[in-house]
Every structure is written in C-alpha cells, then in structure tokens.
Structure 1
Amino acid sequence: MSRILVKTVREFRNRVSHHEPVWKKYGVETEIDAIEHLRDKISKILQLLELVSPEKKRLLEKNKIIERAYRACTLGELRRFQHNIATHNVKSISKLCRLVQSAHDANSVEKIQVYEMGKISFLIHPN
C-alpha cells in the first residue's frame, strides 16, 4: 500500500514540477472528472503524509492548508479563475455578514462589490 502511495505521489509531483497539466488522466473527460481526479491526488498525498509524518499533517490541518487545497479543487474556484463567477452587490453590513458566513460554511470564495465610495470589488476568502 505505501509503495503505491509513494509512486502515485512521486508521479504527480513530477507532473507538477514539469508544468504538465495535472488534471489529465485516462478517463478524465469533464471538469467534474478533473476536479475529482485532483481531490483524489490530495487524498493520496495526505495518506502518505500521515504514514511518514503525522505531526506535519496536523500542522497542515492546523494552518488550514488542507482546506485550501480542497477549495482550490472545486468548480467554484475553476469558474473564478475563468473570470466567470457571480458578483454580489453589497449595500449593507448585514448582507456582507451573510456572504462572509456563506463563504465560510461552503469553504468558497465570493466576489463582492461595494458602492460606498465608488464601485470597489473584493474577494472574500475563508481562512
């Protein structure tokens, strides 16, 4: 089992290091397939890390690095990088609070526009 994990992680690391498309694999035909493939790779990396250094894995969890990695592999983030996400117009503190809570609960990034001193855009990133 650990030998397979090491091989999988090494091959994935090589693809990343050589700037190859990491989402490509036999059978990956849709965006959802690609996201599932990447989430599977994250899972395998975490399994190997748990075997090699559980304390390092706990450190990644504590600093929410794992959460961020999984958030990067979502359809919402793909749309954001394609500049194709909804913008929420914020005209009240209560709406801003709801959007912040929504971003936190869904572990997603939300784009907002505030009009207090002209139109200003922001991204809400959960930490």
Structure 2
Amino acid sequence: MHDLILRSFRHREALWGLLLAAYRVELTGLLSRAAKTGFEDGDTDTVIELSDHIAAAAKLADLSAIRNDALALRACANAAMGGGEREEGKVLVAGLKLIDRILDTAKERETASRTKPAPLLS
C-alpha cells in the first residue's frame, strides 16, 4: 500500500489519510476491547505491529508528530510484554494519544485544504 501511495502524486495526501484512518480504526478496536476485558495473548504484539505501520506511514507522509507518538506507543507496548496492568495502562494511554493525534492531524489538513486559495486564472 505504501508503494502505491508513493506513486500516486495527485491523491497522495488523501491516500495517506485513508491509510492512517484504517490503522487508527484497528488500533481503536483493539484498545477498546483491551480496556474492557484486559490484554489477551498477542495483543501487545499487534500493538507493536500497528505502531510500526503507523510510524512508517507517518514518516513517508512527513507527519513527525504522529510518527513520534507511534514510536512512543511501540516503546510502551514493548515494556508491557510480560508486565502487569500498570504497563498495559500505559499502552492504553499512549494508544489514545496516538489516536487523538491522527484525528487532530486529519482535521487540520482538511481545514487547510478548504482554505487554500483558488488558483488564479490568466
């Protein structure tokens, strides 16, 4: 998917947004379930994988704040492997921060695209 987006010059920003939204939805579902029932076997591995994907996409889309939050989530998930509820709580907090960052960035980009001046006709 990353390769396809890199080749699509015309719709690149929209495609990055779509990809990050898909990752956000998957992360939201996992964290929501984990908050209700606790982390299950493999959940931290999935969080690490998702955070790696988000960080890579954010790097290619030049979204350093999202990338930094994704890397912070990855570090929390690594620390939670074999850890207790306290470490899992840190994963939830870091995950929510990343989800909020993705949503805020999408809103900012949408607002910016609406306020761009129309090209001048000659």
Tell me the TM-score normalized by structure 2.
0.38
Higher strand share: 1
Question: Larger radius of gyration, structure 1 or 2?
Answer: 1
Greater RCO (CA < 8 Å, at least 6 residues apart): 2
